[in-house]
Amino acid sequence: MPIIAIVGRPNVGKSMLFNKLAGRRLSIVEDTPGVTRDRLYAPCEWCGRPFTLIDTGGLEPTANDDMLRFMRAQTTIAIENADVILMICDVRTGVTAADRDIANLLKRSRKEVVLCVNKCDSVGSLPAELYEFYELGLGDPYPVSSLHGHGTGDLLDACFERFPPEEAAQEQSEPVRVTILGKPNVGKSSLLNKLLGQERVIVSDVAGTTRDAVDERLDNEHGSFIFTDTAGIRRKSKVEESIEHYSVLRAVMSIERSDVCLLMLDAREGVTEQDTKIAGLANEAGKPSVIVVNKWDAVEKDDKTMGALTRDIRQDLLFMSYAPVEFVSALTGSRVTRLFEHIGHVYTQNRIRISTGQLNDVLADAVTKTQPPTDKGRRLKIYYMTQASTQPPHFVAFCNDKRLFHFSYKNYIVNQIKQTFGLDGTPIRFTIRERGEKD
Ligand code: GDP
Ligand code: GDP
């Protein structure tokens, strides 16, 4: 999915525009424990084509951050990850020094940029101040009022014109994009080196991307892969990385670009709070994950250690029960190649398509085995189920009354689907609708 990232100095209206463009879709983001509810990113759609919208301003600088440095950091992250960057200015203040600074960074990046001049609230003739923004050298400024929504259609059209062509993005033989996630020092770079080094068929320089330096392509008997090491991104950038939330923003963006996440834990520490956060991000994005317990060589163990640690991990990452767990050593290479099988498995599952006919067979069986609940004499009726989308598999059930569709019955139906189709490796979405209810 293409990514649009919003950048701009404080108070120009980034979050208001974000909310306007994302609309009510924001509310569908599911709750995951351990995840900050910052509205950092949202799945969106324009003229039937989906995209991801990211608000780099969703993270506020802390009191001791230098504002200019903070903005540069956010802009750099957007440059590294987005397909199109939406730079927002404020028509009321005109062009400021900070705007020029951001614009210069963007120009040097040679990324696709759309310049948006916000707070053009009055309808009719364009404000004369608009023309001032040509000075930034980012092409035509698009006047918008985030407050009223004026101009947002033209703005999105402009972004879409700058997206990579759709056919290219959906090519059959596309390699599997794998992002290696984990806190600093957990062993991400070591793992990447082991994954690449052992196979020897390394093709760097992925054509057509501006991310050659951090994306590593690998072709082997398991398939074609592009690995992104989030630490690699960090080392390359000139931005100082003192603040944890930059790494959250980076993680969010690289998760969005990936098909599969490798979530690395340190075997000596188990699941830390930061691990839970990162795992939550991958889960919310609907991406399948493999939990990679690294530094297994450094653990004193007996025949019970692995079982006990697995139980602890399962307990701490309850919302991720679908992710396989593998114990590796990036140092010695032990069990590292097994990761390819896990990646292949969860990738396939994440892209599964189940026909409506098959789903309704499952539904009929399930309803026969366990009757739907009743409330005050009214019984839940489930008319039919269908798969609305894939990556992750999203199922929709249509019923007579949502309130009767209890949590436990929903889980029961989801489990029936999982069991029937062996869907053990991917997050799943399940939506309940009443008949006649739109979208
Ligand atoms: P951010 O810091 O860039 O995310 O900016 P915000 O979205 O928080 O907006 C800053 C201020 O500008 C808020 O008081 C908004 O209500 C106001 N604002 C944002 N967009 C518009 C707009 O299109 N028109 C007007 N009049 N005010 C706006
Ligand atoms: P990153 O910051 O996540 O990329 O971590 P690095 O790959 O740079 O590794 C951080 C440190 O952990 C280095 O000193 C590595 O040698 C060490 N390390 C990485 N993997 C292992 C492992 O499997 N076992 C042991 N004992 N040390 C490891």
Distance from the alpha carbon of residue 269 to the mean position of ligand 1, in angstroms? 43
What's the token pair of residue 116?
Answer: 């948006």
Do 346 and 425 touch, CB atoms closer than 8 A? yes
Amino acid at 83: D
User: Cα 311 from chain centroid?
Assistant: 27
- Ligand whose nearest atom lies closest to the CA of 265: 2
Distance from the alpha carbon of residue 269 to the mean position of ligand 2, in angstroms? 13
Locate tokens 């999915």: which residue? Answer: 1
User: Cα 123 from chain centroid?
Assistant: 36
pLDDT digits (tens, 9 = 90+) for 94-120: 999 989 999 999 998 889 999 999 999
Q: Which residues have CB under 8 Å from 137's CB, separation 6+? A: 103, 107
Query: What is the end-to-end Cα distance of the chain in Å, rounded?
Result: 20
**Mutation test of ligand 2: which of 191, 275, 331 has the most ligand atoms closer than 8 Å to its C-beta?**
331
Q: What b/e readout covers 86-124, taking b as 16+ CB neighbours within 10 angstroms?
A: bbbbbbeeebeebbeebbebbeebebbbbbbbbbbeeee
Q: Is the dihedral of CA 329, 335, 340, 344 positive or negative?
A: negative
Distance from the alpha carbon of residue 60 to the mean position of ligand 1, in angstroms? 15
CA distance 288 to 94: 45
Distance from the alpha carbon of residue 202 to the mean position of ligand 2, in angstroms? 21
Check pocket membership of 122 for ligand 1, CB cut-off 6 A: no
Do 350 and 393 touch, CB atoms closer than 8 A? yes
Neighbours of 281 (CB within 10 A): 25
CA distance 312 to 292: 14
Q: Which residues have CB under 8 Å from 379's CB, separation 6+? A: 371, 372, 373, 404
Question: CA-CA-CA-CA torsion for 275, 278, 283, 285, nearest 10 degrees?
Answer: -170
Q: Whose CA is nearest to atom 25 of ligand 2?
A: 295
pLDDT in tens, the chain (439 residues): 789 999 998 889 888 898 888 874 443 333 443 333 445 777 788 887 888 888 876 555 555 556 777 778 778 888 888 899 999 999 999 999 989 999 999 998 889 999 999 999 987 778 889 999 999 999 999 999 998 989 999 999 999 999 877 655 455 568 999 999 988 888 888 898 888 874 433 333 333 333 333 578 888 888 899 998 765 334 334 444 444 556 677 778 889 889 999 999 999 999 998 899 889 989 999 999 999 999 999 999 999 999 999 999 999 999 999 999 999 999 999 999 999 999 999 999 999 999 998 999 999 999 999 999 999 889 999 998 999 999 999 999 999 999 999 999 999 999 999 999 989 999 999 999 987 665 4
Q: Is the dihedral of CA 108, 114, 118, 124 positive or negative?
A: positive
Distance from the alpha carbon of residue 244 to the mean position of ligand 2, in angstroms? 20
Enumerate residues lining ligand 2, CB below 6 A: 182, 184-190, 231, 294-295, 297-298, 329-331
Nearest Cα to Cα of residue 384 among 417, 403, 361 = 361
Q: Whose CA is nearest to atom 2 of ligand 1?
A: 11
DSSP 297: G
Check pocket membership of 175 for ligand 1, CB cut-off 6 A: no
Strands 49-55, 41-46: pairing is: antiparallel
- Three-state secondary structure call for residue 429: strand
Q: Whose CA is nearest to atom 9 of ligand 2?
A: 187
Q: Which residues have CB under 8 Å from 360's CB, separation 6+? A: 384, 385
Amino acid at 141: P
Check pocket membership of 150 for ligand 1, CB cut-off 6 A: no
pTM of the model: 0.69
Counting DSSP H helices and E strands in the chain, the numbers are 13, 18
CA distance 391 to 375: 35
Q: Whose CA is nearest to atom 12 of ligand 1?
A: 13
User: Cα 318 from chain centroid?
Assistant: 19
**Mutation test of ligand 2: which of 181, 190, 299 has the most ligand atoms closer than 8 Å to its C-beta?**
190
- Ligand whose nearest atom lies closest to the CA of 298: 2
CA distance 417 to 39: 31
**pLDDT more than 90, % of the chain:** 54
Locate tokens 């050659």: which residue? Answer: 212
CA distance 14 to 89: 9
DSSP 215: E
